[in-house]
Amino acid sequence: MGDNGRRISSNFLWRFLERFGAQGVSFIVSIRLAQLLGPEPYGQVAIVTIFTTIVSVFVSCGLNDALVQKKDADDLDFSTVFYFNIVMCVGLYALLFAAAPLIARIHEQPDLVWPIRGLGLILIFGGIKNIQTAYVARNLIFKRFFFATLGGTIVAAAVGLWMAHQGYGVWALIVQNLVNITIDTAILWITVKWRPKRMFSFERLKGLFSYAWKLLASTLVDTVYSKLYQMVIALKYTDTDLAFYNKGDTFPNLLVTNINDATNSVLLPVMAAEQDDRAKVKETTRKAIQVSSFIIMPMMAGLAACATPLIRVLLHEQWMPAVPFLQIFCFVYAFYCVHTANLNAIKALGRSDLFLKLEILKKIVGIATLLVTVNISVLAMALGSIFNSVMSQLINSWPNRKLLNYHYGEQLKDMAPHILLALVMAAAVYAVQFLGLPDLLTVLIQIPLGILLYFAGAALLKVPALGMMKSLLASYLKKK
């Protein structure tokens, strides 16, 4: 493996460790918080998060990706985006602060006013942090993320647990989030040596925004759409229904988005650097799908198979209605690697216009599905996500038939061994429940059994992705 391959593997492993180290801590803490607080506070935070997440899209305005994608980005570009982001964040927070009473009134929950204003402070820290994040991604120094994210997560976890034990309810979750991003931003600011210079260029901003506005529009459409289901549930159903829906989404989301974040943040700058060589971009995209699906497929299949005893052990009986939602979202997230790899290739090739068109088309399909299912039940709305997932895979992969000569059928073929192995493994894992053992013992048998069966099958069938992962790991250890 060459120097570039070793550099990619090193950064991927650091990013992977960062995401799973931090999220592993968050996962453990969230279990305890869910036990202490119950579903209702989580439903309230979900409502608040809907609006802060949508507003947060404007924080970077797609300019982070523009900085990573631009071949000759310099200090003037980075400083210009930094100052623009700060102004944007302050303005957006002021709007959210003023709109908080209206949002609370719409949801008939006057107690939400200050939680919205409190959690909205994330916008300010996001504006400070984002350019450091872009600088780390562009220069492939992801080791910096590891210490920043883990430090913020650990301190925030301690604060959140203390406040939950003291009876602060929803504020335990809000302050936990604020402390997390504050510490994360501070450590990143200390460890990353880039600092904004006293320079600003409207011309550079205009040039970057010509690429970024399409990504902004795409991300905004995607974010509003992703929160649309939660907004409808919050308005039409109860906070508890929303909590079960969100908690079912949380576990698979936690696993998959962290793998996707690690892949996305490392591969986008690599693809962007190779954008003039379509064959290399195709090969990188293909390896991303193979390696990501090799990891994600068994996780999702195994999680769905042991969902019932796992939820009962971790969150207790009060959260059992979340089980079917968890199983549905496991299927949805199992194919996220297809979305990530295809969209990364499109962005790296500079086709943000095409990216926007794809997002609009997918959201038309999603809204149509929502209209069909909204009056049936929350579960029907979740089931509609499976149809949306399949359609989105087809839509996202379609442009790469021409751009990379890498069509969806070929992508499915690359994933087929992993899908087959994951299904066989899941069937065996699910069968353990019929032994009638206590839930904890059942889970303790299911997890190692699933891992053993999957990797044994992969070795027996000589799955290429297993060899790729061994090669990446060996290369990294050799470098060390």
pLDDT in the model for residue 15: 58
pLDDT in the model for residue 11: 55
List the structure tokens of 370: 């929502």
Q: How many C-beta atoms lie closer than 10 Å to residue 364's C-beta?
A: 12
Secondary structure (3-state) at 199: coil
The torsion of the CA quartet 331, 432, 27, 135, rounded to 10 degrees, works out to: -50
* Rounded Cα distance, 194 and 135, in Å: 8
pLDDT in the model for residue 324: 94
Query: What crossing angle do the helices spanning 122-138 and 39-60 adopt, rounded to 10°?
Result: 60
* Rounded Cα distance, 475 and 478, in Å: 5
* Rounded Cα distance, 290 and 337, in Å: 9
Model-level pTM greater than 0.85? no
* Rounded Cα distance, 180 and 456, in Å: 39
* Rounded Cα distance, 319 and 245, in Å: 10
Of 164, 125, 175, 115, give the one whose Cα is nearest residue 148: 125
Contact 337, 293 (CB under 8 A): yes
pLDDT in the model for residue 478: 59
Strands (E), 74-212: none
Report, in angstroms and rounded to the nearest whole number, the Rg of the chain calculated over CA atoms.
22
Segment 273-282 long-range contacts (CB within 8 Å, at least 24 positions apart): 274/348, 275/348, 275/349, 275/350, 278/349, 278/403, 278/404, 278/405, 281/345, 281/348, 281/349, 281/404, 282/345, 282/400, 282/404, 282/405, 282/406
Secondary structure (3-state) at 205: helix
pLDDT in the model for residue 264: 56
* Rounded Cα distance, 432 and 239, in Å: 34
Contact 84, 78 (CB under 8 A): no
> Phi/psi of residue 107, each to 5°?
-90, 5
pLDDT in the model for residue 111: 84
List the structure tokens of 314: 């971790």
pLDDT in the model for residue 10: 55
Of 190, 180, 119, give the one whose Cα is nearest residue 151: 180
Contact 159, 173 (CB under 8 A): no
Instruction: Give the ranges where 274-335 is alpha helix by DSSP (H).
Output: 278-305, 307-315, 323-334
Q: What separation, in Å, do the N-terminal and C-terminal C-alpha atoms of the chain show?
A: 14
List the structure tokens of 240: 């508890």
List the structure tokens of 470: 């061994």
pLDDT in the model for residue 56: 77
DSSP state of 141: -
Rounded (to 5) percent helix, strand, coil in the chain: 85, 0, 15
pLDDT in the model for residue 14: 58
pLDDT in the model for residue 326: 94
DSSP state of 192: S
Of 69, 343, 363, 395, give the one whose Cα is nearest residue 210: 69
List the structure tokens of 477: 């250890």
Q: How many C-beta atoms lie closer than 10 Å to residue 203's C-beta?
A: 9
Residues 6 or more apart whose CB falls under 8 angstroms from that of 275 comprise 281, 348, 349, 350
Q: Is the dihedral of CA 42, 43, 44, 48 positive or negative?
A: positive
Q: Which amino acid is at 311?
A: I
Q: Which amino acid is at 208?
A: L
List the chain pLDDT tens, one digit each, 480 residues: 455 555 555 555 555 655 556 666 666 777 777 777 777 777 777 777 777 877 777 776 667 767 776 777 788 888 888 888 888 888 889 998 999 999 888 877 888 888 889 988 888 888 788 777 777 767 666 666 677 777 788 888 889 889 988 888 888 888 988 998 888 888 888 888 888 888 988 888 888 887 777 777 777 777 777 778 888 888 888 878 888 888 888 888 877 876 766 655 555 555 555 555 667 777 777 787 888 888 889 999 999 999 999 998 888 788 889 999 999 999 999 888 787 777 777 776 767 677 778 888 888 998 999 999 999 999 999 999 999 988 988 888 888 777 777 888 888 888 888 999 999 999 999 999 999 899 999 999 999 999 999 999 888 888 887 776 676 666 555 555
